[in-house]
Structure 1
């Protein structure tokens, strides 16, 4: 499956969840529900995936944790915050760079309409 097709299904799951429950829940709740919806759609989902960091001969096994990896192709970073900061966008771009994945979605569920909370990021796509 192509990254764009996966992205569509991820966005569809986010819309479904946000329509049913709205904003204001914890990020961990949205993560559980997203993984459930995506698996229902027949996708492979990994949660809280450790991302090692290599620097100057040092390897940090759990340098970062990516919220979701869908079909081993798309990184999904979930938030439930009042305001997304530039650092949240940079966080996803760093995950893409370090993991070698090409596409990522930053999704903030704490918005009146979920469309306003979804951001697509690419790495050499």
Structure 2
């Protein structure tokens, strides 16, 4: 698996934050807590990194990745009851729009949830 060791570290951080904060905060709280823990682990992480969406060689939109870790893995953070196919589609579209190949969708819901996505395209 691509970036397996890195994603395993991120998942450990996710559970550490989940166990400490539990369910019920806004996504931004979990994002900030993840940043603290990722840095404690010595991982390079950037919050709200802008990413352009290109269509027909023109910028048609921009989104902000919640966190990008070691310039390799996009983290999409949710804080809802359950994530669904629309959340997974969002992460896949983020991967399609970048040179990143791996994304983790993590949910700080009533029960912790995570999904790992990999996407290869011509930008890689």
Structure 2 counterpart of 1:26 = 26
Match of residue 64 from structure 1: 63
Runs of 4+ in 1 over 4 A off after TM superposition: none
Find the counterpart in structure 2 of residue 3 from structure 1: 3
Unaligned runs of 5+ in 2: none
Aligned residues: 120
Instruction: Give the secondary-structure state (helix, strand or coil) at the position aligned to 2:97.
Output: helix
Task: Mark the runs of 5 or more structure 1 residues left unpaired by the alignment.
Answer: none
How far, CA to CA, are the matches of 2:114 and 2:35 in structure 1?
A: 17
Deviation per residue, 1:17-56 (Å, 9 max, x gap): 1111111111000000001100100000011011101123
Q: How does 1:1-125 map to 2 (within 5 A)?
A: 3-60=3-60, 63-112=62-111, 114=112, 117-124=113-120
Q: CA deviation at 1:3?
A: 1.4
Q: Which has the higher helix share?
A: 1
SS of 1:52's partner is: strand
Give secondary structure in 2 for the equivalent of 1:100.
Answer: coil
TM-score normalised by the chain length of structure 1? 0.89
